[in-house]
Structure 1
Amino acid sequence: MSLTPRTFPLEPTLPYNQALRKRLQTGDILLCSGSGVFSDLIQQATDSPWSHVALIVRLDAIDRILLFESVETFGVRTVPLSRYLTDYEQGRPYPGGLAVVRHRTFARVSSAHQIQRMLQFAVDHFGNAYNRQEIVRIAARILGNSLQAPLSQGKDASLKAFICSEYVAACFEQAGIALAASDRGYVTPADFADPRLMDLIGVLQAPT
């Protein structure tokens, strides 16, 4: 199956049924190719269709597949993966393409203790909300780097919010997996589509 930072996979869409749910694991990634002002900004700045990324968490005890994510409208939150396919907003599915990928070494490298630490870190940041000033700062940071501004030195510690890829990368770091920042100086959604690191599990929804 094809996966690249520059194109959306051409594989057929898989039904989100029980068989696919059984394949999903904690640590898998949902990659999104969305629309809208903030999505367009990220896509233009990174020359990539990928605009959003979320961490997949499997909770067998309650039979749920959840997404841990940071979104500009709510901040850090969790929602069922199924919501993206049926009721992302006002009864409509997510406005764009959806694909699930898996880090090739996550299962081998990350111990049970590290995964627990990752989930604790992820949950501890629930409710960290964006405000308008932070959205502007994040947008300026992305746009500035895309226009050949001096590279940032990673995430600004004074920021109280993550962009989506920073949040997932920080979670991965707790699990013992460090994702190198791109030449822009920060981790982007496109970095989670690197075929040297990730395998495509399947396409859940084609781009609109």
Structure 2
Amino acid sequence: MGTRKFQGIYQLHYEEAMGKIQTGDLLFCSGSYLVSELIKKASNSFMSHVAFLFEWYDRVLVFESVESMGVRIVPLLHYMTNYKNTGKKYNGGLFIARHEKLIDSYFDQTLLKNMIRTGIDSLNRNYDQTEIIRILTRIKLGVGKHKEDNYEYICSEFVDYCFQQIGVRFPRTMEGFIYPEHIAADSNVYPMFEIVS
């Protein structure tokens, strides 16, 4: 489990965290929902979901691919106050990390804009339900392979696809699958803090 580096990191309240987040930062979730627990167990990980963040008009927005909608944008504030329009906070831990490439002060901002454009062009693409079945089949039976370029994404595939626009390709299994664990455990991904309300 490469995500141990996230356990015990310092916590920041949402308001303070907003001043430290920058476009391209990663959001990792360790959910307590049934699907989240299944993902954590299947991937032997502390993390159940990954997305990336961007700033827009003094708001921090989450770019993600979710089971119910596919690729979408939602305010990070909704994770803190109104997750899935329930009027409640996300049930689990929310962690912010930054890829080493985005720490470099000489990083080409044009590449970052290309990453955001790629995310926007992917809006409303479907969540890849069959990929989840392939992953579970591989875990349980040891068979199956990832299908490239079907333009449907699980969360970690979407993040990987967008980050490829800045020259980053995250590790994956020998069969080509990528889980939130692979992105979180990448040695170039640095935990920053856990957001709390």
Taking structure 1 as the reference length, the TM-score comes to 0.84
Distance 1:12-1:113 versus aligned 2 partners, 3 A rule? closer
Structure 2: gaps of 5 or more residues = none
Q: Percent identity?
A: 33
Distance 1:110-1:164 versus aligned 2 partners, 3 A rule? farther
Q: After superposition, what is the alpha-carbon deviation per residue over 1:21-63, rounded to whole angstroms, capped at 9, x for unaligned?
A: 121111100000113333222211110121100111112xx11
Are the aligned partners of 1:34 and 1:96 in contact in 2 as well (CA < 8 Å)? Answer: yes
Q: Does 1:9 align with 2:13?
A: no
Distance 1:120-1:29 versus aligned 2 partners, 3 A rule? same
Distance (whole Å) between structure 1 residues aligned to residue 179 and residue 6 of structure 2: 15
What does residue 101 of structure 1 align with?
97
Q: Does 1:139 align with 2:127?
A: no
How many residues in Structure 1 have an aligned counterpart in Structure 2?
195
Q: Which of the numbers 61, 68, 81 marks the counterpart of 2:63? A: 68
Q: CA deviation at 1:204?
A: 1.0
Structure 1: gaps of 5 or more residues = none
What does residue 191 of structure 2 align with?
200
Distance (whole Å) between structure 1 residues aligned to residue 12 and residue 2 of structure 2: 19
Are the aligned partners of 1:39 and 1:52 in contact in 2 as well (CA < 8 Å)? Answer: yes
Distance 1:7-1:176 versus aligned 2 partners, 3 A rule? closer
Q: After superposition, what is the alpha-carbon deviation per residue over 1:86-125, rounded to whole angstroms, capped at 9, x for unaligned?
A: 1103101111111001111234385222111111110001
Q: Does 1:112 align with 2:89?
A: no
Distance (whole Å) between structure 2 residues aligned to residue 36 and residue 85 of structure 1: 16
Q: CA deviation at 1:199?
A: 1.2
Q: Does 1:82 align with 2:73?
A: no
Give the alignment of 1:148-163 within 5 angstroms: 149-150=142-143, 152=145, 154-158=146-150, 160-163=151-154
For 2:182, what is the secondary structure of its paired residue? helix
Distance (whole Å) between structure 1 residues aligned to residue 89 and residue 102 of structure 2: 29
Q: Does 1:187 align with 2:178?
A: yes
Q: CA deviation at 1:139?
A: 2.2
Q: CA deviation at 1:148?
A: 5.3
Distance (whole Å) between structure 1 residues aligned to residue 190 and residue 118 of structure 2: 25
Amino acid at match of 1:91: G
